[in-house]
Structure 1
Amino acid sequence: MNKPIRTIAVFCLLLFVALMANATYLQFWAAGDYNKDPNNRRIIEAAFSRERGAILVGRDPVAESVPSDDEYQFQRQYPSPLAYAHLTGFFSFYTQTALEQSQNEVLSGEDPRLFVTRLVDLLSNEGNQGGNVELTIDPAAQEAAYTALRDQLPQGAEASVVAIEPSTGKILAMASIPSYDPNELASHDLQSVTDTYDRLLADDSEPLINRAINKRLPPGSTFKLVTAAAGIERLDLQADDDVPSGPGYQLPQTSGDTGLIDNDGRTACDTDQVSFTTAMANSCNTVFARMAVEVGSEAMLEQAEAFGFNSDVFSDIRPAATSVYPEDPNEPQVGQTGIGQFEVSATPLQMAMVAAGIANDGTVMRPYVVNKVQSADYQDLEQTDEEELSQAVSSSTAEELTQLMVATVDEGTANPAAIEGVQVAGKTGTAQSGIDDVPPYAWFTSFAPADDPQVAVAVMIESADIPRGEIGGGSIGGPIAKAVMEAVIQ
């Protein structure tokens, strides 16, 4: 072979080796990255055209894929859009949110637990079907939660509700307003989807936000349950003990009005001493600010964290905000935390966990909303196991707290949540926003029946067209919590 031919042959061999190396790299090493690349339109179109699995409440879909007559083959539908929007999220050509995102591998059929299903689909030359996700949601409770938020609050209100089964951690309801229609974001009219998303994103009321897990606000007097728990555990208090009160309490190391805690006009708190029951029923600020200072910052931090503060407690839907208790407050700041102010902030889910922990003999269960993962033909592949998060308080402390909360419904500020023939335990809260032109936040947390708890609820009203002086957790949050509790127990 002469030299020119040999040179060309070697060059062609090198090109062939380079081609094989590149093909090997693309097919094996880089394939995963290319498949996940958000700019890979072929992958996006294939995923958008797939028969995606259903999100189920019982046997009823709250998100499902149905055949369509266009190039994408299947259309994602949400039969009860407004009530379930913040749970299901949406599946669009561009992105996914909430459960559509966190459970995407199951719903798209790519989860390893669906390997057999994928193999059968491949051998039968059928399209890859996604698996189903069954939720823990009680449909009656969810409907009651959304309807109560919509109908019992003024139009344009921003609020949310969470309900938990205390003994398991199952989320029975999770609703948030304002809501939105995920069908509009799952449309095959991509320009319309873009316009709708931009409009929702620009809306000052933040309709895309799931306030139940993503809004972290000062919990106000509902946090007094945590303070009371610390007082019972650390100071050996009981529900029928007398505790120091008074019309005002000057925080340590302060002077003047800036360090003075009062009772917002609740005269039942103004004597030098009141019973612990009276203090809780009337939400006496002077009692609980003083109690927090006496318990101390370290013990208050430990008690808050035992209920779930400063921890990532919920993973079924991402992102989820972490509730906060400050790690090193000074004495006057500790006093403010005792009434749910200073840098204490909580999600509605967190305050539902506090009530649920008390209801469950002091044991806080990890909350979850995904009950089962199923194949496309409804065969169970995996069921979520219940998990103890912590023993927040002893069973005897939980019993004392329950007694205090029952009195708060029967005789005090939480009376709007009372249910005829059922013993209800509850606590109200009204938290200052700390911003001059922003009204207070209203809170309510409760559980029922008090002697055999089936449901724990937290309600948070962030904003509503209600006169500032009429904003109270009991008056506007209590009836909403009552509706959800009734839906579960009746």
Structure 2
Amino acid sequence: MHHDHAREEYEPYEDHGYDDHLVSADGHQEDRSRRRSRRIWLVAIGGVFTTLLVVGGYGAYNVMTAVTGGSTAGGGGADPTASKGPQTPPSAEQADAVAKDFLAAWGRGDLTVAAGLTDRPEAARMALTSFHDGVSARSLTLSGTGPAPAGTPAEPAVGYRVRAEFDGTTETWEYESTLGVVRASDGRVLVRWAPTVVHPKLGAGRTIAVKALPDPVSKPADRKGRSLEAFPSLRSVLPQIAPPDGAKVVTGQAVVLSGGGQEAEQLFVLTPPTAPQVKLTLDADLQQVAEEAVKQQSAGGKPASLVAIQPSTGNILAMAYAPQDGFNRAVGGGQPPGSTMKVITAAALLEAGVTPDAAAPCKETTNSPRSWHNDEGGNHLDYTLSDDFIHSCNTGFIDKGLEKLQLNTLTSVARDQFGLGLQWRIGIPSRDATIPVPGNKDEAAAEYIGQGQIQVNSLAMASVAATVQSGTFRQPVLREDAKRVTAPGKLPGDVAQGLRSMMARTATQGTARTPMSGLSGQIGAKTGTVEAGSSQATNSWFIAYRNDLAVAAEVEGGGHGNSAAGVAAAQVLKAGGKG
């Protein structure tokens, strides 16, 4: 009966849960025949239990378990820790030993073996497999760090450290956690399974896996590398900036904790997402001034815009507009520019042989046959072309234009010398100027003074001022790698000089003298006032330059050119055109 009793006590190992194999602490497996032969051998020698050390099993701490028996609970089986009477709590040495075996099996990928060392093998196997497949580390090193303060006498805890290395990066993910150790009802010492054994933040229904991060969004900077994100007028502009041609956008990866109805959390970034930074031609300091100038002149809900350009390069240094509803009227708008167009009309007349001091009487009214008048009444029959320019005389320009120019001349000069009407690619979507060939003298007369079917914006007219200042059309760009177009022709030197002299007189003696007052250096300006209808206030336009800075501004319903638009433009010139 003694031998039979020994067999009954050992028999439960036949139902260990691994089918025909017994799993030892070091991960080796023994088949059923070897186990059966050992059992028979034990029967033969009775109670010589010390020889069981050769069996291995879960280590020396579990020797008595192999003799006293007890089945291992599966995922849906009975809890092996369910009390069947008083149990001696695991010793610190036993806790450390089972933790060491568990971590070793987990680290080398023997997940079934590791799960078998817990009190809930199936739940542990599923969680460890999910972690293994989701994280997919090149190597996983787990090491015990000794007893953890979270333990109790009945359930000691062991701390451990996880170190994971990954392909494609030198970054190493490390974290620490703890596991509890219990003695099962059958006497075995096991890891108390909980999701936090995998990671201290892992909970029910949640998973840990390496996932791709959202594609990075390029955050363009100004020409000095400074952030532009604080400027209201650029909120709709910056997202339109694409990376340079051929630049590589790197989609990052991170270890992410997700699921369980909770917001995903990045536990560790393997590779941060990167996008090449684009430096725009904008200048943050000047942009700030432009934003404030437009804000002041658009008070009361008046739409407005301003663009500043560097004549020597064509680089756009500032752009601002209101309302800031996403539509960038500074580069996307289209409206008649009023008398600022007289810069191009004057260029056409100068090319046609009319000199700045040539007689060009300013009559109170004239006909084309449509009747035209000036902002100010009275006849000034002694005016020259330069006088007409600085006082913005409509009738003088209409009469001289109808006398000296062909119907298509203004369109040709605007395109060939000033680049207006060409397809510009500034780096973001923009609207090109439209200066159609007039169909009759009435339409031509309207275009000579910047009305009729002409459609431009602050970008186009700032370029006109820049072309006069430098003598050469340089297509405006927002980024230096933008593909520029060149004008078919070039502004003749004497024409450029004549325009500069007339714009300088306008800034010091003419309609632009008030806003330009106090500005030093090489200066020039031209005002524009556009009639928007008998019941509406006129639209204010102003173009000017100071040294290597050219500006155009417009304020819808802003009145005369030397008021709203002129004030805004002068603020920018004062801040940035010092040379």
Q: Given the alignment of the two structures, is residue 221 of structure 1 paired with residue 339 of structure 2, yes or no?
A: yes
Query: In the alignment, which residue of structure 2 is the partner of 1:243?
Result: 360
Query: In the alignment, which residue of structure 2 is the partner of 1:285?
Result: 394
- Which runs of 5 or more structure 2 residues have no equivalent in the other structure? 1-210, 255-268
Query: In the alignment, which residue of structure 1 is the partner of 2:271?
Result: 126
Aligned length: 350
**Candidates 462, 472, 490, aligned match of 2:560:** 472
**Closer/same/farther in 2, CA of residues 359 and 472 from structure 1, 3 Å limit:** same
Contact 2:252 2:272 in 1 (8 A): no
Contact 1:233 1:393 in 2 (8 A): no
**Closer/same/farther in 2, CA of residues 313 and 447 from structure 1, 3 Å limit:** same
Structure 2 residue identity aligned to 1:242: A
* Percent identity for Structure 1 against Structure 2: 27
Distance 2:452 2:212 in 1: 47
Structure 1 residue identity aligned to 2:349: G
Secondary structure at the residue paired with 1:442? Answer: strand
**Closer/same/farther in 2, CA of residues 274 and 366 from structure 1, 3 Å limit:** same
**Closer/same/farther in 2, CA of residues 47 and 216 from structure 1, 3 Å limit:** farther
Contact 1:364 1:390 in 2 (8 A): no
Distance 2:212 2:531 in 1: 47
Distance 2:232 2:425 in 1: 23
Aligned residue runs from structure 1 range 216-365, under 5 A? 216-234=334-352, 236-251=353-368, 254=369, 259-267=370-378, 270-294=379-403, 295-306=405-416, 307-318=418-429, 320-361=430-471, 363-365=472-474
Aligned residue runs from structure 1 range 145-224, under 5 A? 145-179=290-324, 207-224=325-342
**Closer/same/farther in 2, CA of residues 50 and 473 from structure 1, 3 Å limit:** same
Contact 1:83 1:143 in 2 (8 A): no
Contact 1:227 1:291 in 2 (8 A): no
Distance 2:213 2:554 in 1: 36
Query: In the alignment, which residue of structure 2 is the partner of 1:412?
Result: 510
Contact 1:223 1:340 in 2 (8 A): yes
Contact 1:50 1:127 in 2 (8 A): no
Bigger relative contact order (CA 8 A; separation at least 6): 1
Structure 2 residue identity aligned to 1:112: G
Secondary structure at the residue paired with 1:176? Answer: strand
Distance 2:421 2:488 in 1: 13
**Candidates 259, 277, 280, aligned match of 1:135:** 280
Structure 1 residue identity aligned to 2:398: A
Aligned residue runs from structure 1 range 451-470, under 5 A? 454-464=548-558
Deviations 1:113-166, CA, capped at 9 Å, x for gaps: 327x67999xx9524411111111122211111111112443322100001111
Secondary structure at the residue paired with 2:282? Answer: coil
Contact 2:297 2:565 in 1 (8 A): no
Secondary structure at the residue paired with 1:208? Answer: coil
Distance 2:212 2:551 in 1: 38
Contact 1:51 1:130 in 2 (8 A): yes
**Closer/same/farther in 2, CA of residues 102 and 385 from structure 1, 3 Å limit:** closer
Deviates more, 1:224-233 or 1:408-417: 408-417
Aligned residue runs from structure 1 range 31-180, under 5 A? 49-57=214-222, 58-62=224-228, 78=229, 80-85=230-235, 89=236, 98-103=237-242, 105=243, 112-114=246-248, 126-179=271-324
Secondary structure at the residue paired with 1:480? Answer: helix
Secondary structure at the residue paired with 1:329? Answer: coil
Distance 2:451 2:212 in 1: 47
Distance 1:436 1:154 in 2: 22
Deviation at 1:220, TM superposition (A): 0.6
Q: Which of the pair has more CA radius of gyration?
A: 2
Deviations 1:246-269, CA, capped at 9 Å, x for gaps: 211111xx3xxxx111112254xx
Deviations 1:353-412, CA, capped at 9 Å, x for gaps: 111111111x110110113xxxxxxxxxxx558764454421210110010011111111
Query: In the alignment, which residue of structure 2 is the partner of 1:199?
Result: none
Query: In the alignment, which residue of structure 1 is the partner of 2:572?
Result: 484
**Closer/same/farther in 2, CA of residues 396 and 264 from structure 1, 3 Å limit:** same
- Which runs of 5 or more structure 1 residues have no equivalent in the other structure? 1-45, 63-77, 90-97, 180-206, 372-382, 465-470
Distance 1:144 1:277 in 2: 32
Q: Given the alignment of the two structures, is residue 422 of structure 1 paired with residue 531 of structure 2, yes or no?
A: no
> Taking structure 1 as the reference length, what is the TM-score of the superposition?
0.67
Query: In the alignment, which residue of structure 2 is the partner of 1:400?
Result: 498
Deviation at 1:275, TM superposition (A): 1.7
Deviation at 1:327, TM superposition (A): 2.2
